[in-house]
Amino acid sequence: MSSTNKDFDLVDVAFAAKLKELSPPSSLRRELLKLSPTQRAAWWPRLCLVAATALAIVAAIMFWPKGSLIPAAQSDLAALLNSDFDLQFQSKNVPAIRQWLTENTRVGQAELPPLVTTSFPEGCRELLWRGNYGALICFETPELGLVHLAVFPSSELRGASSLTGMHLRGVGGWNSAVWNHGAYTYFLFGKGTDAQIRSLIAASPGASRSWGLARFRHVPGINSSSASLTKNNTHETTSHSNRDSLRG
């Protein structure tokens, strides 16, 4: 207590103690941290992203991979998520996000997993990867914080249509799950262990029943070390010959 100490009597002490029992809403701190200056996208990261995208498109044309595109897509999505990307549409409302996806992307018909509809969405954007148009949806979960879901038409991703079950893989500091549902391939990225990712997806209402997410398998076309289901998050470096960029 500072120079006012002498002015505090017993009534003041008791009143001050009561006043300090007033607690802010539990969400206030989280909302405030979103205002952090780093959350604002500056112009130069976007310029860098555009330049990197252009370079990577050239590299992609030169070094088009022969096998499944799933690992490359995971790597490039992880790189995008680690960059300063923008959400073209910000909303905390699932129906609004669904409508935006329908009106602005080519994956508007893709069904959103129950996980998304029961979480706290932040927004979404369109993706363009190797000529394939998809979408990215970002949302918060109580368990893992910020989680991202990318959706692409399976028919346009080589190797995706042969994917069965769900597969987990650590990439770029993220844990990524990939699976097919309907005509679409879904990539989920979260900062958690395999068990947490599994639990997150399987715990959402209706997930295991209609989405077939209860089973986790080995990814065809991915070597066994990177497809290990028991492995924790590991940072994977992708060779330039196998790397492509993603416009986000």
Partner 1 sequence: MDPKEFERVVDLHYENLFRFAWSLSGNEHDAADLVQQTYAVFAKKGHQLRDTSKAKAWLFTTLRREFFATRRRAEHFREEPWEESLSDAIQPEEMEALDVQTALLALAQLSVEYREPLTLFYLEEQSYQSIANILKVPIGTVMSRLSRGKAQLRHLLKNVLNK
- Find the shortest distance in angstroms from Cβ 32 to partner 1: 5
Q: How far apart are CA 28 and CA 208, in angstroms?
A: 34
Q: Is 6 one of the binding residues for partner 1 (CB under 8 A)?
A: no
Which listed range, 21-29, 92-100, 115-123, 220-228, lies at the site for partner 1 (CB under 8 A)?
21-29
Classify the C-alpha dihedral 148-153-156-157 as positive or negative: positive
Which listed range, 8-16, 42-50, 93-101, 236-244, lies at the site for partner 1 (CB under 8 A)?
8-16
Per DSSP (E only), the strands in 71-158 are 89-90, 120-129, 132-141, 145-153
- Find the shortest distance in angstroms from Cβ 26 to partner 1: 11
Among 6, 36, 223, 230, binds partner 1 (CB under 8 A): 36
Q: How far apart are CA 100 and CA 154, in angstroms?
A: 21
If one counts every other C-beta atom within 10 angstroms of the C-beta of residue 173, the result is 14
- Find the shortest distance in angstroms from Cβ 94 to partner 1: 23
Q: Is 131 one of the binding residues for partner 1 (CB under 8 A)?
A: no
When the beta carbons of 3 and 223 are compared against partner 1, the nearer one is 3
Token pair for residue 159? 């190797």
- Find the shortest distance in angstroms from Cβ 4 to partner 1: 6
Which listed range, 26-34, 110-118, 160-168, 184-192, lies at the site for partner 1 (CB under 8 A)?
26-34
When the beta carbons of 32 and 47 are compared against partner 1, the nearer one is 32
Strands of 166-171's sheet in order across:
89-90, 120-129, 132-141, 145-153, 184-190, 174-181, 166-171
DSSP state of 86: P
For residue 25, with 0-12 CB atoms within 10 Å meaning exposed, 13-18 middle and 19 or more buried, which class applies? exposed
- Find the shortest distance in angstroms from Cβ 83 to partner 1: 16
Which listed range, 7-15, 65-73, 103-111, 148-156, lies at the site for partner 1 (CB under 8 A)?
7-15
Task: By CB under 8 A, name the binding residues for partner 1.
Answer: 1-5, 7-12, 14-16, 18-25, 28-29, 31-33, 35-38, 40
